[in-house]
Every structure is written in structure tokens, then in C-alpha cells.
């Protein structure tokens, strides 16, 4: 564990440096980029170590894992939900999670609206875009975004803050470019309760390039915590 803690500190410092450089190269300040620590499979002690280093946002993928770990995290650090979300589990997140980044269909938005309405609060969300058009991935096809934004703008307990994506893994940057262009286009549309401020894009392998293509929130797991070791049931 001692070793792991030191490794996380080193990784954190290195990633911060890379983020700062990429931000400056793209004409922004390092403070404009949010560094999220993705905590799936990571024990709470290591997550708390990342918080001690300076992490101010956590990302969780699975509702059950979130519920079992959240009380062990140092308090005061917000958590976003970034995984595939079944509508029947939405109720466990509302009131606890800062933002749901992975809204990938109308019916999910409807259920979030219903649960947030019940608690009389406004839930921040991002819309997840399937920028590569991959069958294997969830996410909204880019051409369906305007219609969905219009529908969501009629839901008083939702606030759209931007877009999220997991681009196909390739060396070239065309999907990052496509996503940047889409984000800028969606910014031009004006709907009530829609403010396109966040572009959540970039993970351990592509966060530098993502920042260079306009991302202002990067979701980093393995580069910070080391390679994940999954329990056998998920292997
Ligand atoms: C796991 C995960 C990440 C982080 O992936 P790494 O490659 O480990 O940085 C980011 N976003 C989502 C949605 C994830 O599921």
C-alpha cells in the first residue's frame, strides 16, 4: 500500500504537468481543465490519497460500487456518474451525485427528471455522444442531439451542462476533431436549461490530445491509479 500511495502521488504530479502543458498549448490556463479521477475497482484508501494530492472530482461507473465506497471517501469531494445507467437505478444517484455524465437516451432523461422532481432539485447532466458511430457503444448519434436537447429543455428538473464522449481508440485525432466541432455547433443552439460549458473527453491514453481539441474535463483512471485488476466475475 505504501508503494501504491507513492506511485499515485508521482502519477498525479506527472498528469498535472501534462494537463497544464496541453492547456497552455491550446490557449487556456491549467485551471480551466478539470482532472477527474476515475475510481472503478480502486480501493477507497487510494482514492483518498488522490484527494490528498489535489483531486477535486471523482468519477464512478457502477451504482453498486459507488454505494459501497462512497462513505469511505473523504467528504466534500463531489462524484460524477460516468457509466452506463439503467433507469431503475437512477433513484440511488439523485441527491448524491453532482452530475450524471452518461445520459444516452430520452427515456433515461425522463427518469432523471422524474426522480429529481420528486426530490425537488435540479440534476446536472451531460449528454453522451457516440461520436464514432460504433454499434458496441452507447451514446446519442450526433444528428439526434438537437432534437433531444429540445425535448430535454422542457424538463424543469434537468440542466444540461455539456457533452461527454468515449471516442473509438485510434491513433489519429479525427474523432476528437469531430467532437470539438459538434460541441461548438451545439453551443450555438439556445434552449432554456441548456448551457454547453463542459466537454468531457479524454482518458488515460488520449487526454493530452483531447485537451488540444477543446476538452475541459478529462476522466483518468489507470494512468493515475495503475492498471485495474478486475474481480474474476468481470474478467
Ligand atoms: C474507465 C473509464 C475511464 C478511465 O479510463 P482509463 O483509460 O483507465 O483512464 C474514463 N471514462 C469512462 C466512462 C470510463 O468507464
**Domain ranges within the chain, ordered by starting residue:** 2-223
Rounded Cα distance, 175 and 180, in Å: 9
The confidence score (pLDDT) of residue 232 equals: 52
Q: Which three cell numbers stand for residue 101?
A: 455524465
CA 13 to chain centroid, in Å, comes to 21
The confidence score (pLDDT) of residue 174 equals: 96
CA 67 to chain centroid, in Å, comes to 18
Pocket test for ligand 1, best of 59, 126, 199 (most atoms within 8 A of CB): 59
**Which ligand 1 atom minimizes the distance to the CA of 40?**
1
**Which ligand 1 atom minimizes the distance to the CA of 207?**
9
Q: Tell how far the Cα of 219 is from the centroid of ligand 1, in angstroms.
A: 6
The confidence score (pLDDT) of residue 42 equals: 95
The confidence score (pLDDT) of residue 75 equals: 87
Rounded Cα distance, 9 and 219, in Å: 17
The confidence score (pLDDT) of residue 3 equals: 78
Q: Tell how far the Cα of 118 is from the centroid of ligand 1, in angstroms.
A: 31
Domain 2-223: assigned CATH number: 3.20.20.10
Q: Tell how far the Cα of 203 is from the centroid of ligand 1, in angstroms.
A: 6
Pocket test for ligand 1, best of 42, 164, 221, 229 (most atoms within 8 A of CB): 221
Contact between residue 195 and residue 122 where contact means Cβ atoms under 8 Å apart: no
State the angle between helix axes of 174-187 and 145-152 in degrees (0 to 180), rounded to the nearest 10.
Answer: 40
Q: Tell how far the Cα of 202 is from the centroid of ligand 1, in angstroms.
A: 9
Rounded Cα distance, 115 and 202, in Å: 30
- Find the residues whose C-beta lies inside 6 A of ligand 1: 38, 40, 61, 82-83, 166, 203-205, 219-223
Q: Is 197 in a helix, a strand, or coil?
A: strand
Pocket test for ligand 1, best of 18, 19, 38, 55 (most atoms within 8 A of CB): 38
User: What is the full per-residue pLDDT of the chain (235 aa) written as tens digits?
Assistant: 677 889 999 999 999 999 999 999 999 999 999 999 999 999 999 999 999 999 999 999 999 999 999 999 998 899 999 999 999 999 999 999 999 999 999 999 999 999 999 999 999 999 999 999 988 888 999 999 999 999 999 999 999 999 999 999 888 899 999 999 999 999 999 998 999 999 999 999 999 999 999 999 999 999 999 988 766 554 3
Residue count (the chain): 235
The residue whose CA is least distant from atom 11 of ligand 1 is 219
Q: Which long-range contacts (CB under 8 A, 24 or more apart) does 112-117 make?
A: 112/157, 112/158, 113/155, 113/156, 113/157, 113/158, 115/90, 115/91, 116/157, 116/158, 117/156, 117/157
The residue whose CA is least distant from atom 10 of ligand 1 is 219
| Helix extents (H) in 30-144 | 44-53, 63-69, 106-118
**Which ligand 1 atom minimizes the distance to the CA of 219?**
10
Amino acid at each position: 500500500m505504501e508503494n501504491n500511495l507513492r506511485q499515485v502521488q508521482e502519477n498525479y504530479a506527472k498528469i498535472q504537468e501534462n494537463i497544464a502543458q496541453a492547456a497552455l498549448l491550446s490557449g487556456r490556463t491549467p485551471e480551466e481543465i478539470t482532472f477527474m479521477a476515475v475510481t472503478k475497482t480502486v480501493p477507497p484508501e487510494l482514492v483518498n490519497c488522490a484527494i490528498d494530492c489535489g483531486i477535486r472530482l471523482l468519477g464512478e461507473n457502477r451504482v453498486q460500487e459507488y454505494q459501497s465506497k462512497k462513505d469511505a471517501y473523504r467528504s466534500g469531494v463531489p462524484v460524477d456518474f460516468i457509466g452506463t445507467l439503467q433507469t431503475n437505478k437512477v433513484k440511488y444517484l439523485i441527491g448524491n451525485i453532482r452530475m450524471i455524465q452518461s445520459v444516452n437516451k430520452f427515456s433515461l432523461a425522463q427518469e432523471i427528471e422524474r426522480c429529481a422532481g420528486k426530490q425537488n432539485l435540479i440534476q446536472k447532466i451531460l449528454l453522451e455522444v457516440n461520436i464514432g458511430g460504433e454499434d458496441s457503444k452507447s451514446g446519442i448519434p450526433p444528428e439526434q442531439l438537437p432534437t433531444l436537447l429540445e425535448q430535454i429543455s422542457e424538463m424543469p428538473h434537468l440542466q444540461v451542462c455539456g457533452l461527454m464522449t468515449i471516442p473509438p481508440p485510434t491513433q489519429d485525432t479525427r474523432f476528437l476533431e469531430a467532437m470539438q466541432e459538434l460541441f461548438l455547433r451545439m453551443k450555438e443552439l439556445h434552449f432554456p436549461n441548456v448551457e454547453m460549458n463542459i466537454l468531457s473527453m479524454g482518458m488515460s491514453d488520449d487526454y493530452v490530445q483531447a485537451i488540444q481539441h477543446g476538452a475541459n474535463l478529462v476522466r483518468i483512471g489507470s494512468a493515475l491509479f495503475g492498471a485495474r485488476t478486475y474481480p474474476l466475475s468481470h474478467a
